[in-house]
Amino acid sequence: MVSAESAVSGLLRDVTPVLDERQRRLLAGAGARALGRGGVSMVASATGMSRNTVRRGVRELEAGPSVVGQDRVRAKGAGRKRATESDPELLGAVEALVDRESRGDPESPLRWTCKSTRKLARTLTEAGHATSHVRVGELLHGLGFHLQANAKTIEGKQHPDRDAQFRYINRQASEHLAAGQIVVSVDAKKKELVGDEPPYKNGGREWERSGDPERVGVHDFPAKDLGKAIPYGVYDICANTGFVVVGQDHDTAAFAAETLRRWCAQVGQVAYPNATRMLICADAGGSNGYRLRLWKVELARLAAETGLQITVCHYPPGTSKWNRIEHRLFSHISMNWRGRPLTSHEVVVELIGATTTSTGLSVHAERDTGSYPKGIKITKAQVAALPIARHEFHGEWNYTFHP
C-alpha cells in the first residue's frame, strides 16, 4: 500500500512542472500541511524547492482567500530588478552605440563593424555594462529602434530642366495619343547570364519543397559558348503590350534600332495602319542615348523605311527609373522568372513571352542571333546630313526624323 508521503510526493512531481511560480508554491504548501509534522522537509525533498519557499506557501494558505486569490504571481517589488534599475547608465550606453552621430566617431568601438545585438552586448559588457543580446534587443525596441534597410530617397544632382522635360514628354505623348499616333517606351533590360552546366542563380524565391531548393553554381563566370542574354524591349503605351527581342552579341544602337524595326513590321503596321508619326520615349544613356551618333543614323534609316515621322524624347540624365517600360514591363518580367535559372536563350524567350498581369499586359518575345559589332564610327558630318529637326526646347533631348 502506498504511503501518504509517497502519494503526495508523486503528485507534486507530476503537477508542478505545468504550474507557474505562485501555483507551485501554494501546492507545495498544501502538501506540507497534509503531511503534517515533517511535511515541509518531505515536500522540499520531493520537488527540489527550498524549505523557505514551501513555508511561504503554507503561510499564504493560512492567511486566507484574500491572499490566495490575488492575481499577482509575485509580491509587488519581488523578483530580479530591471537591468536599467540595477545599471542606470545602461540605456544611455546602448543609445550612444547605435546613434548615427557615433558611427562617424573614430573612437567608436563599432565604427567598422555590423551593429548586431550580440556585438552590442559584447561591447557593452567589455565597457562594464554586463548584459545579454536579448536584453539589448528589448532596450533598442523600447527606444524606438528597429532593423531597417537603406532607403533610396536622395536623388542627388538634378538637371535644372528635369521637371520641364518631364512635362514636355507628357505633352508630346498626350498629343500623339489624342491623334491616334504611336507612342512607345524603349530600353534595354539588364543582361542575364545564360547556362546550364551549372545553371546560374537567378534572384528571387520560388515555391519548392522544404530543404530542396534549386541547385545552381557557386560562381557566376560567363559561359563562353552561350554568353549572355540581352533583352531589349518596346512597350506600347496605348495597347499595354510588350515586344522584347533577346540578343546575344552586343547591346548597341544598331541592336536597339533593329528591335524597333521588328516591332514596326510585326506590330506597328498591323495595329496602327493609318499612323504617320511615332513618339519614342527613351533613357538618356545606354544603346539609345542622346549622345550616340549611331542611334540617330539608325533611326533616320528606320524613318525612311517605314515612312513614319519619328520623334524621340529622352528622359533627363539620372531618371531612367521613370521610363514607363521599367515599371510596366521589365518589373513584371523579373517577377515572372524569379528563382528560375536561365539555362538557355530559348528559356529566356519563353519566360518573357509568358509574362502577363491582371491589368491585361501581354508580351511577345523572340530571339535575335544577329551580330552587332561595337566601335562603329559615325562622324559629325554624317549626323548633320540626316533629315533631323531639333526641337526648340532642349534640342539635344528632343528631335524628329522626317522620312
In sequence order, the 6+-apart residues with CB closer than 8 A to the CB of 113 are 119
Question: Is the pLDDT assigned to residue 7 strictly greater than 90?
Answer: no
Output the pLDDT for position 66.
56
Output the pLDDT for position 104.
45
Question: Is the pLDDT assigned to residue 332 strictly greater than 70?
Answer: yes
Question: Is the pLDDT assigned to residue 200 strictly greater than 70?
Answer: yes
Question: Is the pLDDT assigned to residue 14 strictly greater than 70?
Answer: yes
The pTM (predicted TM-score) of the whole model is: 0.70
The pLDDT tens digits for 218-238 are 887 777 777 799 999 999 999
Question: Is the pLDDT assigned to residue 112 strictly greater than 50?
Answer: no
Output the pLDDT for position 65.
60
Question: Is the pLDDT assigned to residue 79 strictly greater than 50?
Answer: yes
The pLDDT tens digits for 292-313 are 999 999 999 999 999 999 999 9
Query: Percent of the chain scored above 90 by pLDDT?
Result: 49
How far is the C-alpha of 303 from the C-alpha of 312, rounded, in Å?
Answer: 12
The pLDDT tens digits for 18-63 are 788 888 888 888 888 888 888 888 888 877 888 998 898 888 888 8
The pLDDT tens digits for 313-327 are 999 998 988 999 999
Comparing CA positions, the residue from 233, 270, 254, 256 lying closest to residue 364 is: 233
pLDDT band at 216 (very low <50, low <70, confident <90, very high): confident
Output the pLDDT for position 17.
77
Output the pLDDT for position 74.
62
Instruction: DSSP letter for 367, please.
Output: E
The pLDDT tens digits for 253-289 are 999 999 999 999 999 999 999 999 999 999 999 999 9
Whether 280 contacts 253, CB under 8 Å: no
Question: Is the pLDDT assigned to residue 355 strictly greater than 80?
Answer: yes
Question: Is the pLDDT assigned to residue 67 strictly greater than 60?
Answer: no
**Lowest-confidence region among 3-17, 21-35, 201-215:** 3-17
Output the pLDDT for position 401.
97
One-letter amino acid of 108: S
Output the pLDDT for position 110.
45
How far is the C-alpha of 28 from the C-alpha of 58, rounded, in Å?
Answer: 8
How far is the C-alpha of 79 from the C-alpha of 384, rounded, in Å?
Answer: 87
How far is the C-alpha of 174 from the C-alpha of 160, rounded, in Å?
Answer: 23
Average pLDDT over residues 145-173: 88
The three-state secondary structure class of 92 is: helix
CA distances from 377 to 351, 353, 371 (A): 36, 35, 16
Output the pLDDT for position 186.
98
Query: What is the overall mean pLDDT for the chain?
Result: 87
Output the pLDDT for position 174.
96
Output the pLDDT for position 246.
97
The three-state secondary structure class of 256 is: helix
Output the pLDDT for position 111.
45
Where b means 16+ CB within 10 Å and e means fewer, 314-352 reads bbbbbbbeebbbbebbbebbbebbeeebbbebebbbebb
How far is the C-alpha of 1 from the C-alpha of 45, rounded, in Å?
Answer: 21
Output the pLDDT for position 116.
80
Comparison of pLDDT for 125 and 77, the residue scoring more? 125
Question: Is the pLDDT assigned to residue 75 strictly greater than 70?
Answer: no
How far is the C-alpha of 190 from the C-alpha of 197, rounded, in Å?
Answer: 22
Average pLDDT over residues 101-128: 67
Average pLDDT over residues 368-374: 95
How far is the C-alpha of 136 from the C-alpha of 2, rounded, in Å?
Answer: 52
